[in-house]
């Protein structure tokens, strides 16, 4: 079983702030750093650092995407299916406040230049039973989901961010949703307590396993028969960026390696806790050895 992650690659411009900027306010930041990020790139790096064999597909700008590709390669991710475009790479402006919370302004750039030809050429290298992981930061998701499902690939979707277009996708073809409580409520389309969301989502999409992340409150897994809860590790947050991506990547890698669901959830929660203790998206994602050795 191989893993293809068709997803975003971003350059994250991260500003340390006293508080998130308010409408009409001009405010000096307390510092600025540039990191590699993007939900797609972060999740590929997490899976590879967790020990899985990962192929990343997507697009970067010819002139500014080199370091994104280098970091993927250094982490052990195959980048043969990342295309270089004449435009600019995706990028973000991220504010991180004193509590480590963030807010993210996204510019899609090359992430929005995925062509049907690239989708077909990439999927041709994969087969029934392989995993396709997606987030909602690239274009072309409808074609990707339909074509991968026709091939019998297993579709894992981190539906982030939830948009009107995302709700129009053939979500009934998704085999596993990994999402937070806000995304879960949006996709349920009804008011629900967070502990009810996994069951409601499973009723709406009966083929799908639901993995609901709840930040510092942990996560809930539900597959229609089994329900597991995993508390989050209590650590001091420096920067929560990419915690969800680390959780997603570690859970998938751990499950693919044949670990039980409770073991995969535990590993993912531990890896995500380590991520929030470091600055930046991709740089804060731990390697498997760090997760194994960490005493939290
Ligand atoms: O999930 C965190 C990521 O979201 C950041 O790295 C940023 O690039 C955005 O895609």
Write out pLDDT tens, residues 118-131: 999 999 999 999 99
Would the pLDDT of 189 be above 90? Answer: no
- Enumerate the β-bridge partners of residue 220: 212, 229
Which ligand 1 atom is at minimum distance from the Cα of 35? 6
Q: Residue 246 CA to chain centroid, in angstroms? A: 7
Gap from CA of 225 to ligand 1 centroid (Å) = 33
Sheet strands (E) in the chain: 3-6, 10-16, 31-37, 54-61, 78-85, 90-96, 102-107, 131-135, 154-158, 176-180, 209-213, 219-222, 227-230
To the question of pTM greater than 0.85 for the whole model, the response is yes
Give the model confidence (pLDDT) of 242-263 as tens digits.
Answer: 999 999 999 999 999 999 999 9
Residue 29, domain member (yes or no):
no
Gap from CA of 81 to ligand 1 centroid (Å) = 20
Confidence of residue 192 (pLDDT cuts 50, 70, 90): confident
Residue 76, domain member (yes or no):
yes
Give the model confidence (pLDDT) of 200-243 as tens digits.
Answer: 999 999 999 999 999 999 999 999 999 999 999 999 999 999 99
Catalytic machinery residues: 245
Residue 192, domain member (yes or no):
yes
pLDDT for the residue numbered 174? 98
Give the model confidence (pLDDT) of 90-103 as tens digits.
Answer: 999 999 999 989 99
Residue 94, domain member (yes or no):
no
Residue owning the nearest CA to atom 8 of ligand 1: 38
pLDDT for the residue numbered 191? 83
pLDDT for the residue numbered 105? 97
Whichever domain contains 66, its CATH number is 3.40.1190.20
User: Which parts are annotated binding residues for substrate?
Assistant: 10-12, 38-42, 137, 245
Would the pLDDT of 117 be above 90? Answer: yes
Residue 103, domain member (yes or no):
no
Give me the mean pLDDT over the 100-111 stretch.
96
Chain-wide mean pLDDT for the chain? Answer: 97
pLDDT for the residue numbered 190? 79
The total number of structural domains in the chain stands at: 1
Is the N-terminal amide bond of 154 cis, ω within 30° of 0? no
Which ligand 1 atom is at minimum distance from the Cα of 8? 10
Q: Which helix (H) or strand (E) holds 46?
A: helix 39-49
Residue 19, domain member (yes or no):
no
Residue 148, domain member (yes or no):
yes
Q: Which domain holds residue 175?
A: 1-8+37-86+109-291
- Which residue matches tokens 């790096």? 45
């Amino acid at each position: 079983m191989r893993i293809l992650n068709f997803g975003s690659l971003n350059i994250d411009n991260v500003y340390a702030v006293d508080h998130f900027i308010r409408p009409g306010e001009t405010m000096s930041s307390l510092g600025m750093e540039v990191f590699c990020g993007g939900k797609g790139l972060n999740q590929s790096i997490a899976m590879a650092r967790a020990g899985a064999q990962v192929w990343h597909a997507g697009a970067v700008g010819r002139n500014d995407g080199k370091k994104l590709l280098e970091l993927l390669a250094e982490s052990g991710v195959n980048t043969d299916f990342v295309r270089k475009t004449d435009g600019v790479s995706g990028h973000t402006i991220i504010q991180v406040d004193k509590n480590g919370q963030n807010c993210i302004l996204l510019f899609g750039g090359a992430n929005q230049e995925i062509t049907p030809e690239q989708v077909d050429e990439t999927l041709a290298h994969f087969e029934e039973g392989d995993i396709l992981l997606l987030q909602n930061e690239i274009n072309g998701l409808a074609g990707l989901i339909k074509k991968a499902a026709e091939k019998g690939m297993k579709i894992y979707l981190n539906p982030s961010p939830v948009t009107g277009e995302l709700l129009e996708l053939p979500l009934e073809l998704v085999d596993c949703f990994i999402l937070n409580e806000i995304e879960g409520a949006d996709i349920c389309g009804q008011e629900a307590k967070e502990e009810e969301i996994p069951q409601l989502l499973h009723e709406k999409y009966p083929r799908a396993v639901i993995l609901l992340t709840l930040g510092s409150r942990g996560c809930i897994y539900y597959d229609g028969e089994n329900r597991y809860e995993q508390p989050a590790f209590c650590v001091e947050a420096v920067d929560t960026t990419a915690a969800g991506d680390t959780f997603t990547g570690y859970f998938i890698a751990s499950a693919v390696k044949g670990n039980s669901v409770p073991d995969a959830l535990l590993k993912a929660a531990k890896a995500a806790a380590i991520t929030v203790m470091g600055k930046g998206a991709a740089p804060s994602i731990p390697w498997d050895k760090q997760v194994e050795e960490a005493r939290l």
